[in-house]
Structure 1
C-alpha cells in the first residue's frame, strides 16, 4: 500500500506515475477551517501561496463526512506542519472567503439579494457559489448559524430575549423562541434555566 491522504489544489496539478484518485469536495473542510480560524486570534501573517498541499491520512479513517471532520479537528488541535500547509491552501479558495463572508455578515436575517450585492455578484451566481462552498442551499445554513450564534450569545450575555431577538434580526422574542424550538427542540427560556443552574 502506497501513500494515502488528502490533496488540496488551487491550480493545475500534474502527477507522474500511477495513482488512484478519488475526487472529493472540500466544502466540509473549508467550512470547518473558517470556524477554526474565527475561533482563534486573527491571522496576521500572510500565508505562503503554495498551489497545493498534502495531508496524509488512511482512507479508512475518513470515509464519512463526520469522520473526516473529527479527524481534521484533531489535526488542527495538533497543529503540525502538514496541517498548517493544508489550511493555508484552503484559505486561498473562493469558498473559504465566501463562508467567512457569510459568517461575518449573513447571520442577522439579511436577504440573499442584499448579501449578493454586498459580495459583488448577481443573485443567481451568488446562489451557485454558496452551493459550491456550503454543499447546500445558503438559507438553511444561514438559519442554523444565526440560531447557534444567538444561543451562544444568550449563554454569555445577561440580556433579555427581546434584545437578543432584535440583535439577530428576529421580528420579536416569540419569533425567536419559535425558531429555536423548531431547530433544536427546546425554547430559549429553558436553555436559560439550564445555563444558570447553580453548580453542585
Structure 2
C-alpha cells in the first residue's frame, strides 16, 4: 500500500517523536481548533494553533510533537520525491540553491491546501512553480534545504561531466562509496549509474530535437564515446533510433 494513502490520527494528549526531516499533509479533524506544541532538541519549545478544518502541508525537523487541544489527521508525504522534483523545477528556471544544507530547526506551514490528494502533491508543487510568488511558500524553501535536493542537483550536474565513475562522484560529494550508493538509491529509486545514464540520454535527445545539428557533435557533447554509443543507448531504452524518435515526436507536434 502506498504510504501516502495511509492516514494517521494524533489525539489530544498524544505525541509523536520525529527523528529526521518529514513532510506531512495534515487536516484538523472536525471544526475545533488544534493546538500543537513542539519540543525541539529538548531546549526550545514552540506552539501553533490551526483553525478548525484547516488542511495543508507541515514541514518538520527532529522534535517531539504533542497535541494539547483538538485532533490532527496526517498523511506522510514522500519528501525525497518532492525534493527531486523541486531540483528540476529550479533547474528549468535558473533558481538552483546548492552548496551546503542550511540548518532547519522547527516547523513550517504551507498555505492552505483544500483539494489536492495526498498522493498527488507533485501537482501542487508544479502549481507553486507557475506562480510568481512561489518562493514565498515555506515548503518550497524547506525542500531546497534537504540533502536529497543537494544530491540530485549534484548528480544532475554530473550528466554534463564525462568523468562520471562512481568513485570520483563519491570523492567529489565527500561520502564513502557505500553511503553514497545508499543515499543515491534512496533518493532516486534506481542505482546512480542507471539514473545518470537515463538523464544523460534525455538531455542529449532534447538537444537533438531542439536543434538537429550534427548528431555526432551532440553525442560527444553529452559524454558519449561515439555516435553508435548514443544511438545504441536510445534504441535499447526507447526502442528506436534518435532520428526515428525525433521524427515520431515532431509528427505528433505538427498534427
Smaller-chain TM-score bracket: 0.7 to 0.9
* Match of residue 102, structure 1, among 146, 155, 178: 155
Going from structure 1 to structure 2, the CA distance change for 1:15 and 1:40 (only over 3 Å counts) comes to farther
* Match of residue 89, structure 1, among 126, 138, 142: 142
RMSD across aligned positions (CA): 3.0
Match of 2:195 in 1: 141
Match of 2:24 in 1: none
Aligned length: 194
Deviation at 1:112, TM superposition (A): 1.4
Match of 2:108 in 1: 53
Structure 1 portions without partners, runs of 5+:
none
The structure with more helix, counted as a fraction of residues: 1
Say whether residues 1:174 and 2:228 are aligned partners.
yes
Greater shift, 121-130 or 155-164, is seen at 155-164
Question: Which digits, 9 at most, give the CA deviation of each residue in 1:123-144, with x for residues without a partner?
Answer: 1110111123223322222222
TM-score scaled by length of structure 2? 0.64
Say whether residues 1:28 and 2:94 are aligned partners.
no
Aligned ranges for residues 151-190 of structure 1 at < 5 Å?
A: 151-190=205-244
Measure the CA separation in 2 of the matches of 1:43 and 1:108: 18
Question: Which digits, 9 at most, give the CA deviation of each residue in 1:141-167, with x for residues without a partner?
Answer: 222211111111112334322222222
TM-score scaled by length of structure 1? 0.80
Measure the CA separation in 2 of the matches of 1:81 and 1:172: 42
Deviation at 1:81, TM superposition (A): 6.1
Going from structure 1 to structure 2, the CA distance change for 1:185 and 1:71 (only over 3 Å counts) comes to farther
Measure the CA separation in 2 of the matches of 1:30 and 1:41: 16
Alpha-carbon contact 1:146-1:168 (below 8 Å) kept? yes
Match of 1:5 in 2: 56
Alpha-carbon contact 1:10-1:93 (below 8 Å) kept? no
Measure the CA separation in 1 of the matches of 2:56 and 2:133: 15
Match of 2:128 in 1: 75
Alpha-carbon contact 2:156-2:199 (below 8 Å) kept? yes
Deviation at 1:184, TM superposition (A): 2.5
Alpha-carbon contact 2:215-2:227 (below 8 Å) kept? yes
Alpha-carbon contact 1:76-1:83 (below 8 Å) kept? no
Greater shift, 29-38 or 48-57, is seen at 48-57
